[in-house]
Amino acid sequence: MIPRYSTPEMVAVWAPERRFTIMLEVELSACEAMEQRGEVPAGTSAICRERARFEIDRVDEIERTVKHDVIAFLTNVNEHIGEPGRHLHKGMTSSDVLDTALAVQLVEAGRLIREELSKVLDALKLRAEEHVETVCIGRSHGVHAEPTTFGWKLAILWDELRRARVRLDHAIEDIAVGKISGAVGTFAHLDPAVEAYVCAKLDLKPAPASNQVVQRDRHAYFFTVLALVATSIEKLAVEVRHLQRTEVLEAEEPFTPGQKGSSAMPHKRNPILSENLTGLARLMRGYAQAAMEDVPLWHERDISHSSVERVIGPDATVTLHFMLRRLRGLVAGLVVYPENMKRNLAKSGGLYFSQKVLLALVESGLSREESYSRVQKNAMAVWADGGWLPDRLAADPEVGGVLGAAKVAELCDLGWYIRHARTVQARVFAGE
């Protein structure tokens, strides 16, 4: 991922230095396990660990000749170890090293993402509680429906991202699998105890069964979970973008001192953070699709997945980590305009009271169809000519004459719609 959308912690997970360090640990741990089993001379693993080192430039130089990254890496390491280095990689295949190292990196990346996701949840909860009773119009199809609260909107997203964290935990557990089972995975030249030892040292589980690679459904699941987190982020971003439109202006991204919104128009304050998150979410879904394509490899393995994962491993995790950090700042700094919410509520002339009156007419003994017709007639008049729906209903003999003007006024109570807001938030956050 380009530096513009990167975070230093996540970039460090995918740095060549970190990758080679994990690969070296896989090789040295396997050597230790074999020594314990009497399969390499006593003292070999200690010598190898003491002498082992690598130089990234030297590995790259060797690879330009041998055209094989693991061989290049081992060649460079053995330049430092000397004769005992011949016992490294005994009975192993390249995917033993690469897949196990990749699992460690994905677990590390997943944990960083989880940490940032938890911070987003904290920020969302704080704002949801702040606006638990901040009334705003609810919209369906983009059209005024019935009142809700801004805190309700945020509580819904909090609950969605809480579920995302549960999925992420499972995806991290599912990807935390290594394999040291040799060519085509049959342990022909290795004992499963070596695999168990290496995986335990790296806090992984051995794959119950593998061919030459760890099966890529695990990776597809991991990247799909990341894409789903990104899509939930986009959901909030789209909401902010709509609410920041000049005609709505119920909420607005933070606009910091010195910030410029347009190179041409000095008045502009654009939802650039949300639009950025929307765009990055598109990339995340693309990474998930690429991971899906890696699942059906040929027979016991091919390496068509390798080039894909070298891109999507760093890019997807770096991107999502950046997105979560940006989202956290957006949520914490989001400017909310309750007075504009009240003005927007008034724009539809009380149309949102229609269902409450409809139900009261039904309870009075009218059929639902007749009740609907009488309320809708007045609602369409408000759409066409303006005015205040409760006033029209009270003056209509077919409505006010049935219910009474006082009853109509009582029914048209804004507080009725948000009376369960605190109960619902308590229920949502009880799942924390």
The catalytic residues are 141, 262
Amino acid making up residue 292? M
Q: Name beta bridge partners: 135.
A: 149
| Alpha helices (H) in 131-205, listed in sequence order | 150-175, 192-201
206 contacts 199 by C-beta, under 8 angstroms: yes
For 20, 172, 354, 395, the CA distances from 401, given in Å and listed in that order, are 82, 64, 16, 8
* Helix (H) and strand (E) counts in the chain: 18, 6
Distance between CA atoms of residues 261 and 105, nearest Å: 38
Distance between CA atoms of residues 429 and 432, nearest Å: 5
Distance between CA atoms of residues 369 and 393, nearest Å: 17
Distance between CA atoms of residues 363 and 398, nearest Å: 15
Sequence-distant (≥ 6) Cβ neighbours of residue 167 within 8 angstroms = 225, 228, 229
Distance between CA atoms of residues 144 and 140, nearest Å: 7
Select from 417, 352, 415 the least CA-distant residue to 379: 352
321 contacts 10 by C-beta, under 8 angstroms: yes
99 contacts 198 by C-beta, under 8 angstroms: no
CA angle, corner 130, sides to 124 and 136, nearest 5? 95
